[in-house]
Structure 1
Amino acid sequence: MAVVQTAERILPPGLHPAIRRLAETLARQDEVSRAQRMALIAFAIRVISAAIAFFSQIIQARIMGEFEYGIFVFVWVLVVLFGNLSCLGFHSTVIRFLPQYHARNEPDEIRGLTATARIFAMTSASLLAGIGLLSLHFFGDRIEGYYLIPLFLGLVALPMIALGDVLDGTARANSWPIAALSPTYLVRPTLILGFMLIAVAFGAPHTATTAMQAALLATYVTTLAQFATVSWRMNGRYEPGPRKIDFFAWFRVAIPIFLIEGFGFLLTNSDVVVVGFYLEPDQVAIYFAAAKTMALVQFVYFAVKAAAAPRFSAMMDERDLRPLAAFAGQTARWSFWPSLLVGLSVLAAGNLLLSLFGPTFTAGYSIMAILFAGSLSKALVGPGEVLLTMAGKQQLCVLLYVGALTANIGLNITLIPLYGLQGAALATAVAMMVEALLLHVAVRWSLGIVLFAFADPLSILDKKKAG
């Protein structure tokens, strides 16, 4: 902007509006390029993460066998799920507000927001862990004995899971994709595997308890290192100073986000949880291996979502919705085509990939094919829930996810007893299709944007302008 101001001083006044428009156009192009770079970095991290996770899961399944591996993955899914939920939306509230505070040069608000989010998430997760420990103490006799110690270890990890999610959101809000994603998706799974291999080498039993001990240690090491890194970068970008705290304003936004992302996260993981309640751990292991192998498709969507959220937030202040609509259409295409390519490649190698876990795991191939259909339908509309959230349509998004989650759980409860693992996969795929359809309709109705990979996102806005 300094260059623009200099040009306005030396050039005729009639050229000033043109200079301003040119500067704004270049700024928008730079923001789009930055979002694309962030998407590529996030995509690369997710590719590497998928490889690490797949490799580590194979080794863990081989070391523990189906039964103990099923115990571990069921408990670990619960830990990650409730660790994320315990943030009550503050990890994404940072993404919602920080870019706007930065654009308005309000460092006091930024310092207050980031500190509040960390403290709130840690406190909430600690309270949840305390409730869980009391529940294990008084109702442990109603839980299968092989789950008790892994659950205890998982509860101890909850505060660090929550803090890590807030740090992830803080780094994403500052467009630091490596600092945001690498701890959770690269460092932590690597450390879990490394600590487990060391423990087994020193004579530890090949059980889910050993795996959870490794996961607990890896979580604390990773989160504390991320805390030091993000804090150092924040101090370099925003000098130390007073904190301005507007807790209730943030909390009012955080709760709808919590409901949206909570229902979304439950929608993503409820199948594993319900399978764990209905079936034995060895069946959980087969389902989890198939689902996570096909989840290679979903890292494309995650990468686009990570890059799009700050950009959506920044563009909401603009009066003209056309740039927002065009960018939203790009995100749908960024989600669909790579997802299609990755999914077909994974299916082609499906039996081989599953056999790496063990000979019994190939029974999960049909699960992969069913889940691929659901993932592809979600990719058709891209990060629609992020767009609605950043547009202030949180309540609408909550209703959509309530409907999709209700369909998911209802179908799982109905179909798992009838069709077993295939019923769980079918329930999840149908719920994802319902979610995609509801998001498409909601974005079209509330924002006038056609969010679909094969449609012109500007078509409704152009009709309104022509009319």
Structure 2
Amino acid sequence: MVATSNLPHLAGAQGIFDVAVMDAQPAASEPVGLFARLRAKLTGAGGGTSEASLTRRLAGTIFLIRVISAGLAYLSQILLARWMGTSDYGVYVYVWTWVLLLGSMMDFGISASAQKIIPEYRTSGEQALLRGFLSGSRWLTFIVSTVVSLAMAGVVLLLSPWIDPAARLPLYIGCMTLPAFVVANTQDGIARAHDWMQLGLMPQFIIRQALIIGITASAFLLGFHLGAIAAMVASAGAVWIAMTGQMVVLNRKLAGHVEHGPKAYDVGGWLAISLPILLVESFYLLLSYTDVLVLQQFRPSDEVGVYFAVVKTLALVSFIHYAMSATTAHRFAEYNALGDKTRLSAYVAHAINWTFWPSLAATAVLLALGKPLLWLFGPQFVIGYDIMFIAAVGLVVRAAIGPVERLLNMLGHQKICALAYALAFVMNVILCIALVPRFGGHGAAAATSISLTFETVLLFWIVRQRLGLHVLAFGR
């Protein structure tokens, strides 16, 4: 059912590509700072306005944001590990992992489907539905995530006799964090669908991390005990502040592109697109976090902390995949809506190449510098160095097919993609349960790499059968 109300009307909107080109061209008066110079060198800004050049510029922007974020996150994790000790740090990592996992699934997949829904509405000229989605999607995810968060707090209360006492209060704080986390994800998807990459990503990945460092450092300098509770309070405050600021700026930018007029709310249509994508995202997240969660059940907290440090150190490889996924998803949907198969095929090949080869180079650098990077967390974290080599295998294999899961989602093959991820997740759970009790972090890394390899083979075969595309970085 599509409902309408008398609210803003969107003037004739330009295509996604036109908006992106205008947004990507820096004004003559823009100061050329360090960030701009790095982006220009890494992405070739100013070197043309073709789709490939534009994609590299936008992906380069995302990658730099994630690299800066990684530096801040790395610094925050190092400081927290040193200030809190391995046990409290392990509890914090455990609770924060639950926040990341649940918060990324509680938006119904709308943060990802926004990159399909918005381009299709713009291409078909359905302006009332577009306006309804821009506001209604955020209200929907906020209301539902609040209800679910309260239910999760009730579950923690019921299970409190069986929960580690040190983790109870941090878990309650984590529940309070979830609504803001979910709305921020939704706003991220809306911003990226308009090629506003900095607005979509900086609040979550830079501002939030900077706030966590600032709040925890202030508490430490003031002499407060910095345990898992204090770290979760700082993280919750950072999430809410960053989300609120992002909302204010996003509303102002949308106001500049939207005129007053009626809104239409096709909630059923949104969910029909989003829920299959949610299955894909959920199984991927479960696949990503299963190792840490299973490790927590079978091994001591200090071992969880070491393993998490290894994962954080290898995060740069994942950032490259994420950057290309975030840049290309809505363009896959746009080219498919236009029926331009030739352009779509060439764009897919470009995205795969720019995912795999930089990922391979980044992996080599990180493995070479692994020991000193782990030492920054503390001398005891260096024992995780050999785990890095095992974990890196799965990341490199996955990068070899680029962001094809986004391709399948944007072209309407969400269900088969979700099935592939579900099978990989089940494999990961089975392997983790079999290997972690005996081999600890080494077993967790091996289970995840084997599962990622299995997932990659499945996705390659599915795209070959369904779309007739060769989605491997080599062998064409």
- TM-score normalised to structure 2 length: 0.88
Once the two structures are TM-superposed, the CA of residue 367 in structure 1 deviates from its matched residue by 1.3
Cα gap change, 1:323 to 1:29, in 2 (>3 Å): farther
1:355 and 2:383 aligned: no
Q: What is the DSSP-based 3-state SS (H/G/I as helix, E as strand, rest coil) of the residue aligned with 2:402?
A: coil
1:251 and 2:282 aligned: no
Paired position in structure 2 for 1:130: 150
2:190 to 166, 170, 173: 170
C-alpha distance in structure 2 between counterparts of 1:29 and 1:59, whole Å: 42
1:71 and 2:86 aligned: no
C-alpha distance in structure 2 between counterparts of 1:244 and 1:340, whole Å: 46
Unpaired runs of 5+ residues, structure 1, are 1-27, 457-467
C-alpha distance in structure 1 between counterparts of 2:340 and 2:376, whole Å: 52
C-alpha distance in structure 1 between counterparts of 2:84 and 2:162, whole Å: 25
2:291 to 271, 281, 288: 271
Paired position in structure 2 for 1:108: 128
Once the two structures are TM-superposed, the CA of residue 30 in structure 1 deviates from its matched residue by 3.8
CA-based RMSD? 1.3
After TM superposition, the structure 1 = structure 2 runs for residues 276-295 of structure 1, keeping only pairs within 5 Å, are: 276-295=296-315
After TM superposition, the structure 1 = structure 2 runs for residues 242-391 of structure 1, keeping only pairs within 5 Å, are: 242-391=262-411
Task: Supply the AA of the counterpart residue of 1:338.
Answer: P
* 2:371/2:382 contact within 8 Å kept: yes
* 2:123/2:337 contact within 8 Å kept: no
Q: What is the DSSP-based 3-state SS (H/G/I as helix, E as strand, rest coil) of the residue aligned with 2:264?
A: coil
Once the two structures are TM-superposed, the CA of residue 203 in structure 1 deviates from its matched residue by 2.2
**Deviations along 1:407-457, whole A, 9 cap, x unmatched?**
11111111101211100000011111111111111111100000000133x
Task: Supply the AA of the counterpart residue of 1:394.
Answer: Q
* 2:170/2:228 contact within 8 Å kept: yes
Once the two structures are TM-superposed, the CA of residue 107 in structure 1 deviates from its matched residue by 2.5
Once the two structures are TM-superposed, the CA of residue 320 in structure 1 deviates from its matched residue by 4.3
* 2:52/2:350 contact within 8 Å kept: no
C-alpha distance in structure 2 between counterparts of 1:405 and 1:421, whole Å: 18
C-alpha distance in structure 2 between counterparts of 1:102 and 1:369, whole Å: 45
C-alpha distance in structure 1 between counterparts of 2:460 and 2:349, whole Å: 12
Q: What is the DSSP-based 3-state SS (H/G/I as helix, E as strand, rest coil) of the residue aligned with 1:204?
A: coil
Q: What is the DSSP-based 3-state SS (H/G/I as helix, E as strand, rest coil) of the residue aligned with 1:244?
A: strand
Q: What is the DSSP-based 3-state SS (H/G/I as helix, E as strand, rest coil) of the residue aligned with 2:314?
A: helix
1:158 and 2:178 aligned: yes
Paired position in structure 1 for 2:257: 237
* 2:299/2:437 contact within 8 Å kept: no
Task: Supply the AA of the counterpart residue of 1:63.
Answer: W
Task: Supply the AA of the counterpart residue of 2:440.
Answer: G
Once the two structures are TM-superposed, the CA of residue 202 in structure 1 deviates from its matched residue by 1.8
Q: Return the structure number with greater helix share.
A: 1
C-alpha distance in structure 2 between counterparts of 1:218 and 1:318, whole Å: 41
C-alpha distance in structure 2 between counterparts of 1:32 and 1:389, whole Å: 21
C-alpha distance in structure 2 between counterparts of 1:159 and 1:238, whole Å: 26
1:401 and 2:418 aligned: no
Task: Supply the AA of the counterpart residue of 2:322.
Answer: F
Runs of 4+ in 1 over 4 A off after TM superposition: none
Once the two structures are TM-superposed, the CA of residue 175 in structure 1 deviates from its matched residue by 0.5
Identity of aligned residues (%): 35
**Deviations along 1:168-211, whole A, 9 cap, x unmatched?**
00000000000011111111011011101111222221201110
1:182 and 2:205 aligned: no
Task: Supply the AA of the counterpart residue of 2:162.
Answer: R
C-alpha distance in structure 2 between counterparts of 1:332 and 1:303, whole Å: 12
* 2:122/2:130 contact within 8 Å kept: yes
Structure 1 or 2, whichever has the larger Rg, is 1
Q: What is the DSSP-based 3-state SS (H/G/I as helix, E as strand, rest coil) of the residue aligned with 2:265?
A: coil
1:58 to 78, 82, 93: 78
C-alpha distance in structure 2 between counterparts of 1:368 and 1:117, whole Å: 39
Paired position in structure 1 for 2:58: 38
* 2:219/2:226 contact within 8 Å kept: no
C-alpha distance in structure 2 between counterparts of 1:32 and 1:239, whole Å: 32
Aligned residues: 429
Once the two structures are TM-superposed, the CA of residue 29 in structure 1 deviates from its matched residue by 6.6
Task: Supply the AA of the counterpart residue of 1:124.
Answer: V
C-alpha distance in structure 2 between counterparts of 1:330 and 1:400, whole Å: 24
**Deviations along 1:12-59, whole A, 9 cap, x unmatched?**
xxxxxxxxxxxxxxxx97444332221111111111111111111111
1:411 to 418, 431, 435: 431
C-alpha distance in structure 1 between counterparts of 2:475 and 2:130, whole Å: 38
* 1:75/1:150 contact within 8 Å kept: yes
* 1:31/1:311 contact within 8 Å kept: no
**Deviations along 1:79-135, whole A, 9 cap, x unmatched?**
111011111111112111101222333331111112221112112211221111111
C-alpha distance in structure 1 between counterparts of 2:271 and 2:218, whole Å: 43
* 1:373/1:429 contact within 8 Å kept: yes
Unpaired runs of 5+ residues, structure 2, are 1-47
C-alpha distance in structure 2 between counterparts of 1:205 and 1:325, whole Å: 56
